[in-house]
Amino acid sequence: MIWLLSLLSSPGLLLAQDRQSFSLNEAIRFAVEHNINVKNSVLDAQSAEGRIRELRGVALPQVSASGQVMDNLIIQRVFLPAVFFDPKASPDAPAVPVQFGVNYSGSLTGNLNQLLFDASYRLGLRAADTYRQLAQKNIMASKVTVAEQVAKAYYSVLVNEQQLKLLDLNISRVDTLYQNTLGLNKQGFAEKIDVSRLEVQVNNLKAERQNVQNLIELSYYLLKFQMGLGINDNIALTEDIKDIDLDEVERTTVQPVTEQFDYNQRIEFATLQSQIELADLDVQSVAKRYYPTLSAFANYGYNTGRNQFSHLFTDAWFNSSAIGINLSIPIFDGFQKRYQAQQKRFTLQKTQNSSILLKNSIDLQIRQASVTLKNSLQTLRTQKRNVDLAKEVARVTKIKYQEGVGSNIEVLDAENSFRQAQNNYFVSLYNFLQTKVDADKASGKLYSGQ
Question: How far, in whole angstroms, is CA 346 from its chain's centroid?
Answer: 29
User: Mean pLDDT of all residues in the chain?
Assistant: 88
Angle made by CA atoms 417, 422, 426, in degrees to the nearest 5 = 150
Residue 390 pLDDT greater than 90, yes or no: yes
**What average pLDDT does this structure show over 10-22?**
61
> Is residue 206 packed enough to be buried (19+ CB in 10 Å), middle (13-18) or exposed (0-12)?
middle
Distance CA 154, CA 163 (A): 14
Distance CA 23, CA 135 (A): 29
The whole-number pLDDT of residue 446 equals 87
Q: Which of the residue ranges 73-82, 285-294, 364-373 would you say has the lowest mean pLDDT?
A: 73-82
Residue 133 pLDDT greater than 80, yes or no: yes
Q: What is the pLDDT of residues 228-278, one digit of tens each?
A: 999 899 999 999 887 777 777 767 665 555 567 889 999 999 999 999 999
Counting other chains too, the contacts that 123-129 makes at CB distance below 8 Å and 24 or more residues apart are 123/281, 123/284, 123/285, 123/288, 124/55, 124/58, 124/285, 125/55, 125/56, 126/281, 127/278, 127/281, 127/282, 127/285, 128/52, 128/55, 128/56
Q: What is the pLDDT of residues 188-207, one digit of tens each?
A: 877 888 889 889 989 999 99
The whole-number pLDDT of residue 358 equals 95
The whole-number pLDDT of residue 15 equals 45
Q: What is the pLDDT of residues 414-440, one digit of tens each?
A: 888 998 999 899 889 899 999 999 998
pLDDT band at 95, cuts 50/70/90?
A: confident
The whole-number pLDDT of residue 11 equals 45
Residue pair 159/433 in contact (Cβ under 8 Å)? The answer is yes
